[in-house]
Amino acid sequence: MAETEIKATVVVDARGLLCPMPIVKTAKAMKGLAAGEVLKVIATDRGAIADVPAWAGSTGNELLEWHEEGGDLVFFLRRGEEE
Amino acid sequence: MGTPEKLVIMVTHGPDDPELATLPFTMAAAALASDVEVVMGFQGEGCLLMKKGVAETVSVPDLAPISDLIGTIAELGGKLLVCWPGLKSRELDQEDLVAGAEIVAAARLVVEVTSATNTLTY
């Protein structure tokens, strides 16, 4: 876990949402960010552990870090130059 | 991001198999969120999922419900193509279908499948 939490421009609360809605909400929110800005996503569906890195890789965005906080999965993603 | 990708998803199950009916919608929404073009083709029992009120009756644990995903898929630009013979044999027509569903026949689906980069069949 990072000592200092990364600062996010926008936070998506996807807790309680089932597959594939955490990714759908993440994609929608990312489109509202400028290149270089950071999105924080909080999810509880454990499919997100595999889905978020795969989605980031296929859309030109960067997964900076993820960790668990209690039962929550917390992801930090940086918007790429283009999606 | 390189060559545009297009996924065609054929749906052949409905209330007869809730899990196989739901998974194509799961995949469609995930693909659209990944900037992949999506066309869903409904045949056989799958046609029933496009009848108003039916999707709300089909769900499985741990997957977002079809009724929620249909709206997301339409919003993200996914196409919902329903095969006419499957509708006719179930005595359904355009006025019975959910908003956004388009009635097609085999040749149109062939055009979609042959122009896709990948196809999934459920």
User: Structure tokens of B52?
Assistant: 């108003």
Q: Is residue A55 part of a domain?
A: yes
Q: Which two tokens stand for residue A14?
A: 């996807």
Tell me the pLDDT tens digit for each residue of A20-62: 999 999 999 999 999 999 999 999 999 999 999 999 999 999 9
Q: Residue B49 pLDDT > 60, yes or no?
A: yes
| Nearest residue to A60 (alpha-carbon basis) of A42, A32, A35 | A35
Tally of domains within chain A: 1
In whole angstroms, what is the distance from residue A3 CA to residue B98 CA? Answer: 50
Domain boundaries along the sequence of chain B: 6-121
Task: Decide if A19 and B72 are in contact by the 8 Å CB cutoff.
Answer: no
Q: CB-based contacts of B94: which residues, under 8 Å, 6+ apart?
A: B101, B103
A62 within a domain of the structure (yes/no): yes
Q: Which two tokens stand for residue A78?
A: 């940086």
Say yes or no to pLDDT of B25 above 60: yes
Q: What is the pLDDT of residues B71-109, one digit of tens each?
A: 999 999 999 999 999 999 999 999 999 999 999 999 999
What ipTM does the predicted assembly reach? Answer: 0.85
Record: fold of B6-121: Hypothetical Protein Ychn; Chain: A, (3.40.1260)
Domain membership flag for residue A1: no
**A32: in domain:** yes
In a domain, A4, yes or no: no
Inside any domain, residue A2 = no
Shortest distance, CA B53 to any CA of chain A (angstroms): 21
Domain membership flag for residue A63: yes
By CA distance, what is A28's nearest residue in B?
B33
> A38-43 and A10-14 as β-strands: parallel, antiparallel, unpaired?
parallel
User: Residue A69's domain is classified under what CATH number?
Assistant: 3.30.110.40
A21–B29 CB contact, under 8 Å: yes
